[in-house]
Structure 1
Amino acid sequence: MGSIMPKVWVQGTTVAALGLVLAGCSSITNHRGYINDEVLIASVQPGLDNRQSVRGTLGQPTMTSQFGDPVWYYVSSQTEQSPFRQPKIEEHSVLAVYFDEAGNVVSTDRSGMEQVVRISPDGDETPTLGRERGFLEDLFGNIGTVGAGMPGGGGGPGGP
């Protein structure tokens, strides 16, 4: 009976460790922005609603247009992130509510993942103007230049 107990303990520890490893490999789902409620969105009617009723129904917009016709945008994204990776957008929707000058709803428009653009940066470095310096030049480049432009040999305040 004494030899069975260590085997059970080892098996239990192994199962627990395996569970922790698998839990660490699971991805994290995160919702960002407006939470879509299809019933509330469908209740916004052109010609019947205005800014006040839309704000009361849908809440504060994610963003508003700054130029041109007044438009309120309700943006919603669901991301998924695997361990050691950048978040990836799984679902995305934008509800645009267009208003006339009097503040009445003219129309609504919805868009989704077809409008999402994935950008791949070109390389790891940002090009800059000027000369190219190596590692040693960056490390030792200022030796002898500190205070060289100051009158009197670079003594500075309280110097000779």
Structure 2
Amino acid sequence: MRQFSRQSRSGRIMLAVGLCALLLGTSGCTRIRTHQGYQVDKLLVDSVQPGIDNRASVEGTLGRPSFAAQFGDQDWYYVSRDMRSLAFSNPKPVAQTVLHVRFDPAGNVVAVDRMGLEDVAKVKPWGEKTPTLGRHRSLFQEIFGNIGAVGAGGMGGGGGATSPGGGPNGS
């Protein structure tokens, strides 16, 4: 009877250890959600009207933009992105909103455009090599190709005994 209780006790302990390991193992792979950029408030964004608002009223309503146009101050951009990832994986975008507010030269709102994640261009690298211009040389040509070229005439190396003055005797 005593032996039976030891087996059941050790079984319970093993079950408890197994459950703890399972809980700790799954908590390390939790989903991480992050938000980057402007916090979009649909009511405030919809209140910006072309022909009615100007730069000052847009700044008062939406705040300073994420960034402005590089040339001139005609365009303001408000960028918002939601990301999701598992513990150690690369984050992937779930949602993105780019609010583009365009102004005329007088500073009045001309248009308010919205772009989402579907408008983002996906760039895929081509192959495993980057094509380059120039000579195509093998590994051995790269390693041994300069033998004998060091100090050759016209290469800027020490081809002769010249002094700093330029001529053989400093003249």
TM-score (normalizing by structure 2): 0.70
The one of 65, 86, 91 equivalent to 2:90 is 86
Q: What is the number of equivalent residue pairs in this alignment?
A: 150
Contact 1:71–1:97 (CA<8 Å) still a contact in 2? Answer: yes
Task: Name the aligned partner's letter for residue 15 of structure 2.
Answer: Q
- Shift in Å, 1:5: 4.3
Which entry has the higher C-alpha Rg, 1 or 2? 2
Alignment CA distance shift 1:151-1:75 (3 Å): same
CA distance in 1 between partners of 2:79 and 2:141 (Å): 48
2:13 is paired with a residue of what secondary structure?
helix
2:59 is paired with a residue of what secondary structure?
helix
Give the corresponding residue for 1:156: none
Give the corresponding residue for 2:76: 72
Give the corresponding residue for 1:103: 107
Task: Name the aligned partner's letter for residue 55 of structure 2.
Answer: R
Structure 2 residue 131 is the aligned partner of structure 1 residue 131: no
Structure 2 residue 62 is the aligned partner of structure 1 residue 54: no
Alignment CA distance shift 1:68-1:115 (3 Å): farther
Alignment CA distance shift 1:41-1:6 (3 Å): same
Alignment CA distance shift 1:5-1:111 (3 Å): same
2:114 is paired with a residue of what secondary structure?
strand
* Superposition RMSD in Å: 3.1
- Shift in Å, 1:137: 6.5
Unaligned residue ranges in structure 2 (runs of 5+)? 152-156, 160-171
2:121 is paired with a residue of what secondary structure?
coil
The one of 31, 35, 55 equivalent to 1:31 is 35
Unaligned residue ranges in structure 1 (runs of 5+)? 153-160
Alignment CA distance shift 1:24-1:124 (3 Å): farther
Task: Name the aligned partner's letter for residue 90 of structure 2.
Answer: Q
Structure 2 residue 17 is the aligned partner of structure 1 residue 13: yes
